[in-house]
């Protein structure tokens, strides 16, 4: 039977550590504050924002919401973000995507201060990640590494195959795992929709990370019995009764009991994305209060 790698118990331990650090900052008169910027109308953004607010409450951080109307243009939104960058009481910022269609996403993301970019999307932070320097790493990428490390899955020297090359998971995660550092030192292969012989490459992996954004894409044919699978996918679908359900990029029923270990969806990587984001907030506070 495959071992289930659950993120919830790990997140509980990490949240306790985060809460203690936040309480220490508060005792010094510093109140860690996380700002969420919304300039769009995607329902999934509202769900994620509510989750961030809830997790801030759990650890004693302040949550602050900035919502912008559809009639705002790129220049005005960038100007508003510059003002928030200058606010010493707001330590971390996240720009929720997608933006209104007429807004230039690249300009907006580049406007967020690198010292407040707790989502790790600014080119400065992305570059530091490539170089292996201390920086903000996108929370889902960090969470994928965390669930392996906290579950005591050996990464060093192992062949890790990542299916997906996004700027918030595939690329930064590959950079994390290839570094000469504790919990890393892996040999990493990044695959995508144009990869030939994808099933063969995936079967060769000691650790397979599915981050392709396609529900139930990874089946038993992609796996081997000694493999560890990390399923990053969070896809909404409708069951036979018409209810919305979350499914991963891995066909869980197909691979369960066929591999050494696998993360469930939900309850695998997702709880650790929240703690990774809060740890980035603490990192931002440290940078700004030195």
DSSP notation for 76-138 = HHHHHHHHHHT-TT--EEEE-SSPPTTS-HHHHHHHS-TTTBTT--SHHHHHHHHHT-S----
The highest-level CATH class for domain 139-272 is: alpha beta
**pLDDT tens, residue by residue, 3-24:** 999 999 999 999 999 999 999 9
Q: Do domains 27-116 and 139-272 have the same CATH topology?
A: yes
pTM of the predicted model as reported, rounded to 2 decimal places: 0.94
pLDDT attached to residue 32:
98
In whole angstroms, give the CA distance from residue 276 to residue 268. 14
How many other C-beta atoms are found inside a 10 Å radius of the C-beta of residue 154? 14
Record: fold of 27-116: Rossmann fold (3.40.50)
Q: Buried b / exposed e across 171-191, counting CB within 10 Å, b at 16+?
A: bbbbbbbbbeeebbebebbbb
Give me the residue spans of the domains in the chain.
Answer: 27-116, 139-272
In whole angstroms, give the CA distance from residue 131 to residue 162. 19
In whole angstroms, give the CA distance from residue 230 to residue 162. 9
Tokens of 79: 């100007």
Nearest 5°: phi and psi at 104? -80, 105
pLDDT attached to residue 235:
87
pLDDT attached to residue 71:
96
Contacts 24+ apart (CB under 8 A), 8-16: 8/267, 8/271, 10/146, 10/147, 10/150, 10/151, 10/271, 10/272, 10/275, 11/271, 11/272, 11/274, 11/275, 13/150, 14/146, 14/272, 14/275, 14/279, 15/55, 15/58, 15/59, 15/275, 15/278
Q: Report which DSSP code applies to 250.
A: B
- DSSP lists the bridge partners of residue 33 as 62
**pLDDT tens, residue by residue, 168-211:** 999 999 999 999 999 999 999 999 989 999 999 999 999 999 99
| 268, 8 Cβ separation under 8 angstroms | no
In whole angstroms, give the CA distance from residue 49 to residue 46. 5
**Which residues in the chain show pLDDT less than 70?**
none
pLDDT attached to residue 1:
81
In whole angstroms, give the CA distance from residue 146 to residue 129. 16
The three-class DSSP label of residue 218 is: strand
DSSP notation for 154-188 = --TT-EEEEE---TTTHHHHHHHHHSSSTT---EE
Q: What is the Rg, in whole angstroms, of the alpha carbon atoms belonging to the chain?
A: 19
């Amino acid at each position: 039977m495959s071992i289930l790698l659950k993120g919830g118990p790990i997140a509980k331990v990490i949240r306790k550590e985060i809460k203690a650090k936040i309480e220490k900052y508060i005792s010094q008169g510093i109140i860690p504050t996380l700002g969420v910027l919304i300039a769009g109308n995607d329902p999934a953004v509202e769900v994620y924002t509510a989750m961030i607010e809830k997790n801030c409450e759990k650890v004693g951080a302040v949550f602050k919401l900035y919502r912008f109307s559809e009639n705002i243009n790129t220049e005005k939104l960038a100007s508003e973000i510059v003002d928030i960058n200058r606010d010493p009481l707001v330590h971390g910022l996240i720009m929720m995507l997608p933006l209104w269609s007429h807004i230039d996403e690249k300009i907006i993301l580049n406007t967020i201060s690198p010292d407040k970019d707790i989502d790790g999307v600014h080119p400065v932070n992305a570059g530091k990640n490539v170089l292996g320097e201390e920086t903000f790493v996108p929370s889902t990428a960090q969470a994928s590494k965390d669930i392996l490390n906290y579950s005591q899955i050996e990464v060093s020297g192992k062949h890790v195959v990542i299916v997906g090359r996004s700027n918030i998971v595939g690329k930064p995660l590959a950079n994390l795992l290839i570094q000469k550092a504790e919990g890393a030192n892996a040999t990493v292969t990044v695959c995508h929709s144009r990869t030939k012989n994808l099933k063969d490459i995936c079967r060769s992996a000691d650790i397979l990370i599915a981050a392709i954004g396609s529900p139930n894409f990874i089946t038993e044919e992609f796996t081997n019995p000694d493999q560890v699978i990390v399923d990053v996918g969070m896809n909404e679908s409708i069951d036979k009764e018409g209810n919305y359900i979350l499914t991963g990029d891995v066909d869980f029923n197909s691979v369960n009991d066929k591999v050494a270990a696998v993360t469930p969806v939900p309850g695998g990587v997702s709880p650790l994305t929240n703690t990774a984001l809060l740890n980035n907030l603490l990192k931002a506070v440290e940078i700004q209060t030195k």
